[in-house]
Structure formats: structure tokens, C-alpha cells
Amino acid sequence: MSTASLDLATIIVGYVRSVLIYIAPYILTSLGVVISGRSGIYNISAEGVMLLGASVTFLATYFSGGNILIGISYAVLVGVVVGLAFGFLTISLKLNQFVVGTTFFILCSGFANLLYKLFIGVTLTPPSIETLRPITVPVLSDVPYVGDALFKHNLLVYLSFVLVAASYYLLYKTFTGLNFRSVGENPKAADTLGINVTLYRYVGTTIGTILMSVSGSYLVLSTTGLYTETIVLGRGWISVGIAIFGRWHPLWALVGSALFASVEALVYLLQSLQSVLGLKVPPESLLTLPFIATLIVLALVYKKAELPQAIGRPYDREAPEEYA
């Protein structure tokens, strides 16, 4: 490696650029968990839904001759189906949300791998699909350094930021948001005032699962264009953690996502710099960093924890009042 490519500016630009590459799945999934949670449904199956979205996107894109739009559409469709099923079990049948979440995590992961094996099978060289091409934002991308780092990413990356802004606006600056959030805080209050608690919760859950599924799409459509069983690698679970210490707020979820994308980018940076820095660490030990980080962050913010008051509890209009 020539000394020119080692100068600090290049490294920093490269680092920021990679943070933005890795941030999208965290944003999309944690946003999905947050929106679902704000309506009162605690959906921990994110990891499984992401894998399923990844698998379906890959297969749909591959068998449609590289049509990425079809791939993403299938992911959205899967998100809807999973959301409605999850909603049915937790909202209409009022089953325990953690039990359903654990089961769906296992089921969706199983289906993801099953589908891939059924359609592709075991091959020597895994097939790949075309990845999303980066969009160069006019004018802004020509800014030295910053342009390379921030404005040459693919559509889904920009979309995830837009979604954060949109969710924040809708949830906190409109009547719809006020009504929506009340369903997760005190469904009895909302119900009495005419809000259709069931409908809002189904919508919240399904938007959540769609986001999780598309997050999985991103994983196969960026960088490698491959699908593997380990492509999600815990990001789904970390995103649930982000929702928790982001206090179920879209803007804080963004901050948390940035944090973890930075950690992930740091891991790869350290790995590539190993030979240069003379580090003799087994690569796997670096890979444990994001998980250790999650544990530390969760412990640090416990004092400020805040959740939607009714999250995780099913709503039953005819249930007796506390002091009945």
C-alpha cells in the first residue's frame, strides 16, 4: 500500500462512508421496532424477519433476472404477511408477545433458509445478484471529502433517513401521531375516545415488520449481493436494543443506529489495518465488539429508560378495571 492512500483524510472519509453503508439496516429495523412498540406491540422477532426479507429478496431478484424492484416488493409482501400473522396472534388472540416473538424468530429464520435451499440448493459457488447502484446526489456529491462520504450512496440509505424524519413528524407533530401513540400508552383511554385500538395496532405491527423485512433486503442488495445464513449476524437483536435505549423514539433510534454502525465500521477498519498496525488478534474477537457494546450501552442508560406505558400488554375492552 502506498503511503498516499494511508493519509488520515482518506481513512476518515472511508470510515464515514462505511458507517453510512452499514447504518441503513439498523435504522430500518429499529424504526420498525419503535413504531410497533409505540402502538403497544413489543416485537422481538426482528432478526428472523430480516433474514426472511433477505432470503425472499434474493430469490425474487435472482429468478426475475435481476429485477431489484421485484425483489424489494416481495420483501414488502412478506413483511405484510408476517405482520398480519404476528398481529393476529398478539392483538386478536392476545397471546404473550415475547412467546410469539421468540417463535416467529425461529420460524422466519427457518423459512428463510428453507426457501433458499429449496430454490437454490447447495452450490459450490453461491449465486449472486446485482446490487443497488449508488446514486450520486448532484452538486453535493462534488464537495471534496464530504461528497464522497455522504452523497454517493444507494437509494435505500437515503430512504432510511427520510423515513426517520417522516416517522418523527407523523408521530409527534400530527393528530394521527397523538392518537397512534395513545394506543401504546393507554389503550383504554384511546378506545373510549373513539380510536380503533385494534386497527392502529395492526397497522403499527405491520409497518414494523415491513421495515424489518426491507432492512433484510438491504443486506443482500448492498455490498456483496449474496445470501448466506449468517447475513443478519445479530443486527436484528441489536436493533431491538437500539429501540430500547433509544427510548422508543425515532430520533434516538437514529443516534443509536449511528453508534452501532460506527462500531461495525470500526471492526472492519481494525481488521483491515491489522497487518499495518501489527495487531495479532484473531478476527473473531473483533467481531464480538458490537455485542459487547450493546451490553454496555444497555447497562449505561438504564436510569433513563422509558417505554410506552402499555407496551407488551394485550388490550381487552371487557377486562375488569383494576379495582372492580
Partner 1 sequence: MSSYKEDLSVVRPYVRLEGIYKRFGDVEALKGVTLDIFTGQVLGLLGENGAGKTTLMNVLFGLYKPDAGHIYVNGRLVKIKSPAHAIGLGIFMVHQHFKLVSNYTALENIAIGMSSGLKSIKPMSLAELEERLNKIMEYSGLYVNLREKVKNLPLGVRQRVEILKALVRGIKILILDEPTTNLTPQEVDTLFKALRNLIREGLGVVFITHKLHEVMAVADEIAVLRSGVLLGRFKRPEVDQATVIKLIVGERIDLEKSIIFGGFKFLSTSTHMEGAANSELLKVENITLRDKLGTTILEDISFSLSRGEILGVAGVSGNGQREFVEVLFGIRRPTSGKMLLEGADITNSSIRDRILMGFFYIPEDRLSEGVSPTLSVMENLVLGIHFTYSTKKLLIDFKRIRDEATQLVKKYEIKTPDITTLASKLSGGNIQKLMVARAFHTRPKILIAHNPTRGLDIATTEKVLNEVLRLKSSGSGIIYVSEDLDELMLISDRIAVMYKGRLVGSLPRDKFDKYEIGKLMAGVVGG
Partner 2 sequence: MAKISLTRLAKISLPYILSVSLAFGVAGLILYFGGYDVISSYRTILTASFWNLNSFFLTLTKFSTLLLMSLAFLTPYISRKFNIGVEGQYLMGALGATLVGLAVSAPPGIHIITSILTGVFFGFLWASVPAFLMARYSVNEVISTIMMNFIARYSVIVFAMSLWRDVASGHPMTIPINTTAMLPLLSSSPPLSSGIVFSIATALLLYFILAFTIFGYELRATGTNPRAAEVFGVNTKFLMPLSLMIGGGIAGFGGALDVTGYYYRLIEGMQSNYPSLGILIALLSKGKITLVVPIAFFISVIDVGTNALQRIQRVPIELVLILEGLLLVFILVSESLRWWKK
State the residues that interact with partner 2 by CB under 8 A: 44, 89, 93-95, 98-100, 102-103, 106-107, 109-111, 113-114, 117-118, 121, 233-234, 237-238, 240-241, 244, 282, 284-285, 287-288, 291-292, 294-295, 298-299, 302, 305
Given candidates 10, 92, 174, 223, which one binds partner 1 under the rule CB under 8 A?
A: 174
The least distance separating partner 2 from the CB of residue 27, rounded to whole angstroms, comes to 18
Q: Which is nearer to partner 2, 50 or 190 (CB)?
A: 50
Q: Does 149 bind partner 1 (CB under 8 A)?
A: no
Q: Which is nearer to partner 1, 115 or 195 (CB)?
A: 195
Q: What is the DSSP letter of 14?
A: H
- The rounded distance, in Å, linking the Cα atoms of 16 and 23 is 10
The residues in 182-221 that bind partner 1, with binding defined as CB under 8 A, are 182, 185-186, 188-195
The least distance separating partner 2 from the CB of residue 193, rounded to whole angstroms, comes to 27
Burial of 162-200, coded b for 16+ CB within 10 Å and e otherwise, reads: ebbeebbeebeeeeebeebbbbbebbeebbeeebebbeb
Q: Which is nearer to partner 2, 44 or 163 (CB)?
A: 44
- The rounded distance, in Å, linking the Cα atoms of 84 and 228 is 26
Size of the site for partner 1 (CB under 8 A): 28
Give residue 198's identity as a one-letter amino acid code. Answer: T
**Pick from partner 2, partner 1, none: which does 309 bind, CB < 5 to 8 A by kind?**
partner 1
**H/E segment holding residue 286:** helix 283-287
**Pick from partner 1, partner 2, none: which does 98 bind, CB < 5 to 8 A by kind?**
partner 2
Q: Does 7 bind partner 1 (CB under 8 A)?
A: no
- The rounded distance, in Å, linking the Cα atoms of 180 and 177 is 5
- Are the CB atoms for 48 and 106 separated by under 8 Å? yes
**Pick from partner 2, partner 1, none: which does 199 bind, CB < 5 to 8 A by kind?**
none
**Pick from partner 2, partner 1, none: which does 7 bind, CB < 5 to 8 A by kind?**
none
Burial of 77-112, coded b for 16+ CB within 10 Å and e otherwise, reads: ebbeebbebbbebbbeeeeebeebbeebbebbbebb
The least distance separating partner 1 from the CB of residue 42, rounded to whole angstroms, comes to 17
Q: Which is nearer to partner 1, 136 or 186 (CB)?
A: 186
- The rounded distance, in Å, linking the Cα atoms of 143 and 148 is 8
Q: Which residues contact 315 (CB under 8 A, 6 or more apart)?
A: 40, 91, 94, 187, 188, 191, 197, 198, 201
The least distance separating partner 1 from the CB of residue 311, rounded to whole angstroms, comes to 12
Binding site for partner 1 (CB under 8 A): 170, 173-179, 182, 185-186, 188-195, 303, 309, 317-318, 320-324
